[in-house]
Amino acid sequence: MLRVEELEAALPAMTKWRVPGEHSVDWAALEAALGTALPSDFRALAEAYPVLVIDDFLMVSVPLPGSETSWAAGAREDEILQDLYEMDDTEGYVPFPQPGGLIGWADSNAGDSFYWRTSSPDPDAWPVVVRTDNADWIEFPVGAVEFLTGVYGRTIDVPGMPGDFPSDFPEVLGLSE
């Protein structure tokens, strides 16, 4: 599992948004509302950064202090994923909280969704699943931070993404609300 510092090396524009010290996300409240723990790499990212928007394309949604239960509710009530599931358009993937269900952690402005597949009792073993706007489902055997590091370090290719993804010099915006 990669550390946040390795993502910062692959995506240096994000470092200007690093919070001094750490956020104080109430992980106990979030995990009680969600019904599961989250991967440690993502927790480290959420403690160090606000919501990140990369190249005005990809939004990495981290829980912010004070919004833990609403973040968990959004993750449990993914209406788009639920609709796709009910239409039998998820290639066997299921929404969380079903066993092995998907929990979203990022979206693109083109309609791509980025999930974890909760296939293991150990959240650090959850793979990333991408649903492209072309309705392709692709699974990567890495966590969220390693996935982002690979995408922006150009060692992971995501078929079906726009030709300019990732850009040569990604810009990053940090959102605190």
Does 167 fall in a domain?
no
Domain assignment present for residue 177? The answer is no
Bridge partners for 137 per DSSP? 131
Q: Both tokens of residue 174?
A: 């940090």
**pLDDT tens for residues 116-159?**
999 999 999 999 999 999 889 999 999 999 999 999 999 999 99
Is 175 among the domain residues?
no
Q: Which residues pair with 59 in a beta bridge?
A: 53, 107
What is the per-residue pLDDT for 142? 97
| Total structural domains within the chain | 1
Taking only the tens place, the pLDDT of each residue in 38-87 is: 999 999 999 999 999 999 999 999 999 999 999 999 999 999 999 999 99
Q: Which pLDDT score is estimated for 67?
A: 92
* Domain CATH for 37: 3.40.1580
CB atoms within 10 A of CB 134: 11
